[in-house]
Amino acid sequence: MLIAGNWKMFKGPAETLAFCREFPPPDGVDVVVCPPYASLREAMATGLTVYAQNVHWEREGAFTGEVSAEMLLELGVAGSLVGHSERRQHFGETDETAAWRAERALEAGLAVIACVGELENERERGETEAVLRRQVSPLPRHERLVVAYEPVWAIGTGKTATPAMAQEAHALIKSLLAVPVLYGGSVKPENAGELLAQPDVDGALVGGASLDVESFTAICQTAARLSRS
Ligand code: 13P
């Protein structure tokens, strides 16, 4: 079971250090935090496993604002998210560029969590399966690849996919690519148990609730308890 905290554009170096010093990663579950680039070093100094939130496909070059896998590895970062829906919505990320990022990062030696998920109107139109197929199919098969199913309508909205909806999407993704699949979208201490108990839910990618030590700890403890049972 893997629980990853995506901090998005929250927590500068000082807040990151304070969080990581206070956060006890529970035994029996793999825990990762994904701080903004500016705070990666502080998070790593506390011994936690740290992923970036994005990574470029080139080693170096004229790509203002981007960071390469080699640079992250030099810093000691273990992995990266790619293809998050906020990158797709606001920064022009496509299925193709997300796959390039994943492929190159894996090749360089990072672990990758590749994010996929349908928009609300796509679900309403019955297109969820087609969207997931389109997003998952360009991803490379790799032992260090994990997919996160994050229905876009459930991100930061308090609307969570039902455990049955998550299970159905995860089973589809796994039929396309045999990798662990995390659920993301309004995961909280109150709903983590029923989501993580689904047979094809291998962990969670947590946004808002990962910013608070108490709620992130509670989610990690739930995952550890389920892993033991
Ligand atoms: P929330 O948990 O805040 O809905 O965010 C989910 C997410 O986008 C994680 O990557």
Q: Which residues of 70-94 are buried (b: 16+ CB within 10 A; e: fewer)?
A: bbbbeeebbbbbbbbbbbbeeeebe
List 147's β-bridge partners, or say none. Answer: 114, 181
Is 199 within 8 Å of 228 (Cβ atoms)?
no
Is 188 within 8 Å of 221 (Cβ atoms)?
no
The closest-lying atom of ligand 1 relative to the alpha carbon of residue 210 is 2
Cα 188 to ligand 1 centroid, rounded to whole Å: 10
Report whether residue 161 contacts ligand 1, using a CB cutoff of 6 Å: no
Report whether residue 207 contacts ligand 1, using a CB cutoff of 6 Å: yes
Cα 10 to ligand 1 centroid, rounded to whole Å: 12
3-state DSSP call for residue 143?
coil
Distance CA(82)–CA(102), nearest Å, equals 6
pLDDT at position 188 is: 97
pLDDT at position 98 is: 98
Report whether residue 186 contacts ligand 1, using a CB cutoff of 6 Å: yes
Given pLDDT bands bounded at 50, 70 and 90, which one contains residue 130? very high
Q: What is the mean pLDDT of residues 112-127?
A: 97
Q: What is the mean pLDDT of residues 115-141?
A: 96
39-98: pLDDT as tens digits? 999 999 999 999 999 999 999 999 999 999 999 999 999 999 999 999 999 999 999 999
Q: What is the mean pLDDT of residues 146-167?
A: 94
Report whether residue 187 contacts ligand 1, using a CB cutoff of 6 Å: yes
pLDDT at position 25 is: 86
Cα 55 to ligand 1 centroid, rounded to whole Å: 19
Q: Whose CA is nearest to atom 2 of ligand 1?
A: 207
Domains assigned to the chain: 2-228 (3.20.20.70)
On the question of pLDDT at 229 being above 90, the answer is no
Q: What is the mean pLDDT of residues 101-122?
A: 98
Is 108 within 8 Å of 73 (Cβ atoms)?
yes
